[in-house]
Each structure stands twice: as structure tokens, then as C-alpha cells.
């Protein structure tokens, strides 16, 4: 698949959707490095803003799957940036995943900043409670690490 993609100059958006489905399947079975390699090869073929934002989001998922949490967070943040105000749901999902990845990377201050941004933007009480819980968890971890 990588060789085939490398030989293409362009691909129709619907065909790219089908190719990306293969990458999602690879992620599902834990083949994150192979999925990342294919995301990288297909990146030059992406023509639409929606596909670009998706590519960053799904590549982030593979980086996290490989335990590269900071890299995953960076990719999620780029996906959120590319979403802009056009798709607030996608943007918030990418930001939430970025914060979780930052937490896993032990970058608690950065994770907290992202959670607080989401908290300030969220009108939903359930999401606000979830974000407050994540912020409290970060504080507990910080306190625990300081005392060790």
C-alpha cells in the first residue's frame, strides 16, 4: 500500500477515505508504526482541510499508541488548530485527547492549561464535571510527585 501511495500524484477524496480506513484498521490491531508510515506517505496526497485535520488526529492516536505521548499531543493540537471554529466538536475532541496525552507525558501544567481552556468553553455540565475531575487528578499527581 505504501509503495502504491508513493507512486500516486493525486487521489480522489473518496479514495483517500478508503485508504485511511485501512490505516484505522491497522491502528485497531495495534500496528501503530505501520499506520504512521502510511499516514506519512499519504500526507502529500491530502487536498482538503478536513482530510488534513483528520490525518493529524489519527496520526496522533498512533503516536499515543506507541507511548510517544508528547508527540501525540502535538499532533492532536495541530488537528484542533486546523479545525478552527468551523467544527467545534472536532476541535474540542482533539483538545481533550491532547490534554490526556500531555497528562500521560507528565506535562501536567500544559495538560491543565488545555483542560482549563475546554472548561471555559464548555456549556455542558457533564463535560465540566469531567474536566474538573481531570484537573483534580493532575493536582493529586503533582502533589504525590512533589512528596516523593
Going from N- to C-terminal start, the domains of the chain cover 2-147
More confident residue, 34 or 131: 131
Distance CA 115, CA 69 (A): 16
d(CA 37, CA 45): 14
pLDDT digits (tens, 9 = 90+) for 59-84: 999 999 999 999 999 999 999 999 98
Answer yes or no: is pLDDT of 14 > 90.
Answer: no
The secondary element (H helix, E strand) that includes residue 18 is helix 13-28
- CATH architecture group of domain 2-147: Alpha Horseshoe (1.25)
From CA 84, how far away is CA 64, in angstroms rounded? 23
Say yes or no to pLDDT of 4 above 80. no
Interval 108-127: pLDDT, tens: 999 999 999 999 988 899 99
Amino acid at each position: 500500500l505504501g509503495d502504491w501511495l508513493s507512486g500516486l500524484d493525486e487521489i480522489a477524496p473518496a479514495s483517500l477515505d478508503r485508504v485511511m480506513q485501512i490505516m484505522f484498521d491497522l491502528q485497531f490491531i495495534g500496528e501503530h508504526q505501520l499506520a504512521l508510515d502510511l499516514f506519512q506517505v499519504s500526507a502529500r496526497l491530502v487536498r482538503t482541510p478536513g482530510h488534513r485535520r483528520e490525518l493529524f488526529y489519527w496520526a496522533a492516536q498512533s503516536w499515543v499508541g506507541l507511548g510517544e505521548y508528547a508527540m501525540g499531543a502535538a499532533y492532536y493540537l495541530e488537528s484542533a488548530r486546523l479545525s478552527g471554529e468551523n467544527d467545534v466538536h472536532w476541535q474540542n475532541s482533539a483538545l481533550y485527547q491532547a490534554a490526556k496525552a500531555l497528562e500521560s507525558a507528565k506535562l501536567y501544567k500544559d495538560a491543565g492549561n488545555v483542560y482549563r481552556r475546554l472548561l471555559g468553553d464548555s456549556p455542558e455540565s457533564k463535560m465540566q464535571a469531567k474536566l474538573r475531575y481531570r484537573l483534580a487528578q493532575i493536582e493529586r499527581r503533582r502533589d504525590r510527585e512533589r512528596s516523593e
